[in-house]
A and B are shown apart, each in its own frame.
Chain A
Amino acid sequence: MNGVVLLILTVGLGIIAWASTRMHALGFRRRSGSRTSSLPHHYGWYVALWTAVPPLIFLAIWAATSPALVTDMVLQAPAAVQLPPPGFERAAILSEARALAAGQAHGAFHALSRTLAPAYDAAQTRIDWIATAIVLLLALAGGAYAYLHVRPEFSARTRIERVVLGLLLGASLIAILTTAGIVASLLYEAGRFFSVVPVTDFLFGTHWSPQSIDPRNPGASLGAVPLFWGTFFIGAVIAMAVAIPFGLMSAIYLTQYAAPRARRIMKPVLEVLAGIPTVVYGYFAALTVAPAVRQFAVAIGIEWASSESALAAGLVMGVMIIPFVSSMADDSLAAVPNSMRDGSLAMGATPSETITRVMLPAALPGVVGGVLLAVSRAIGETMIVVMAASGVATLTANPFASTTTVTRQIVDLLTGEAEFDSPKTLAAFALGLTLFLITLLLNIVALNVVKRYRETYE
């Protein structure tokens, strides 16, 4: 009997417990005629959980510990005295014996493993029987304990609710714990990087060329300032120069001017923009916008314009961000009470005066929050810049020149062939950590701004 069979057995016992308890509860509910404190299926679940959960927990622990127990038992076998002292060979013989016993291997490299295989087989069988016995015992004990509690006045409902609460809590903890795990691994790898490269070199260095790292002084070519600048320039300057005005104006149009019919059609269309995979934006940027930008630049006399210009990536990113800005601004404009608008209109203000002087100032914190969230999304955006921005880190404020971003560089660093613990590869984690911290900070600030604003109007 292996783990899967035990698992099925446990679940089966749980189902039997559920069905029989439910029958029992239906019975006393009918007999007593009075109202029971819980519905029959609550009792069913209560007993089923008591039946199945303890064995499941046991099985989880057992799966982790039983191989060691089996090995211990094998070492007690008479043949085990011939084993070499602990080390690589001993481990190899043991694992070969295990494979033979399980029928996964046919020939044996070590003669000793063949003699140990029956011992393995016996030990595994014994362990399995022990496990089966414990599972059955736990299931019966738990089930019996719970079944004895099942009386009309026993409130199984509240206990089941508590279990549901626990499940939901567990589910939400998984997301949080995963985040913590990601941060921990980032911190660990970044820590390894910073043990080789000084933090100051990385944060303040202006020369970035991971292709030609001097092993004696890796920090000299891993200065991330050009990357931070490029990220800021593309994500926070160019993209926002597109996204803020267009997003804001579309929100104003949709909330203040559009007829309900137009709003019904245009709002979903705008939201579809947010659903386009970023890789599609990426090749739109690389194949359509970038050449157009270059042609335009050449036409106005900038001969050296790059075909991987910051402008192309930034423009497309800005378009991608429009729906975010627009929908945040839309929400905050819609949250401004209508009485504000009426008050202003009743003073004889025109609709545009009302918007610029009353509605927008009132909605400003929400709009600012939305813009900050959009910035944090833009600087974390990867696909567009991988496809449309340059890989060469230059420190320039010229939108027609090529610039690179943090995310683009992370992709480049990790897709190379360098070994995993070289400064070049580890730099990706340092970049990732920096990006993570910046976006985290932006999100915290943005959410706080939005929250404070919400409090004023509720």
Chain B
Amino acid sequence: MNTPKITARNVSVSYADKQAIHDISIDVDMDHVIAFIGPSGCGKSTFLRTLNRMNDTIPSARVSGDVRLDGQDIYAPEMDVVQLRARVGMVFQKPNPFPKSIYENVAYGPRIHGLATSRSEMDAIVERSLTRAGLWNEVKDRLSESGTALSGGQQQRLCIARAIAVDPEVILMDEPCSALDPIATARIEELIHDLRGRYAIAIVTHNMQQAARVSQRTAFFHLGTLVEYGKTSDIFTNPKEERTKDYITGRYG
């Protein structure tokens, strides 16, 4: 039942000469949303980006260690990054809809992966994705309008719909609410609740309340190391490590 979707073992990343994260080992599974928390620069986003090899886009980044998706080494030479990223979707800190229509934004992924063979199939995918992202009712009458014309919160849900459209198994979220107001944030958090179980979800946040609200597992990062990892309720009520406790109680970070 609770087999891990992604297993990361002894993952280290360095940019040029500077090592960003050291020996991180974490599992991501379908039933638990996992939150990565920690002060800025602690490596939580860097770690998240190793899970779909987005660090490949930074020429100086070097990744070592072992990351497996369903037991398959994603850093193996025969791994196809295109396939990997279709299975492991990502939502970014700042909403980044493409300067295309709402429909085209969602259809982008299915189109490049050839998931729909007809217009009606594509329509169905777009509707399903927007519905799951909780955006369908708001935009169904203006699918041809530009995605960039939506509000920030709607843009972020559009990006989630875009990620969902290729039917991924894992969704990585990199501080998805940091550019949003509280109401839009609440909607995204509800959405994360709804998506749990269907997708394995990992979310980076530096809002501890948010981590407490949306996640069942929490990993606390500090200075590039994984300090503590466990049930969210344990981390927040009964942390084992002194540093976790200091961070949770707001003594630093």
Contacts and interface: CB of A to CB of B under 8 A. Distances in A.
A372 to B, nearest CB: 20
A440 to B, nearest CB: 30
Contacts of B82: 348-350
A347 B109 contact: yes
Interface string B96-115: 11111000000011001100
Interface stretch (B51-59, B185-193, B230-238): B51-59
A339 B112 contact: no
Interface string A124-158: 00000000000000000000000000000000000
B166 interface: yes
Given A259-B59, A342-B54, A349 B100 contact: no
B54 A347 contact: no
A362 B163 CA distance: 20
Nearest to A351: B57
A357 B108 CA distance: 9
Q: Is the interface of A mostly helix, strand, loop or mixed?
A: helix
Contacts of A349: 82, 108-109, 112
Interface in A17-52: none
Contacts of B99: 340, 361-362, 456
Contact of B86 (A337, A348, A456): A348
Contacts of B92: 339, 342-343, 346
Nearest to A358: B98
A72 B224 CA distance: 93
Interface residues of B, number: 28
A71 interface: no
Contact of A347 (B59, B100, B112, B148): B112
Given A339-B92, A340-B98, A345 B57 contact: yes
B211 interface: no
B44 interface: no
A260 interface: yes
Nearest to A343: B96
B113 to A, nearest CB: 6
A347 B166 contact: yes
A361 B89 contact: no
Contacts of A345: 54, 57, 85
Contact of A353 (B52, B100, B112, B163): B112
Can you list the 7 inter-chain pairs with the closest CB atoms, starting with the nearest? A348-B85, A339-B96, A348-B86, A346-B90, A343-B96, A347-B109, A348-B82
Interface of A: 259-260, 337, 339-350, 353, 357-358, 361-362, 456
Interface of B: 52, 54, 57, 59, 81-86, 89-90, 92, 94, 96-100, 108-109, 112-113, 148, 159, 162-163, 166
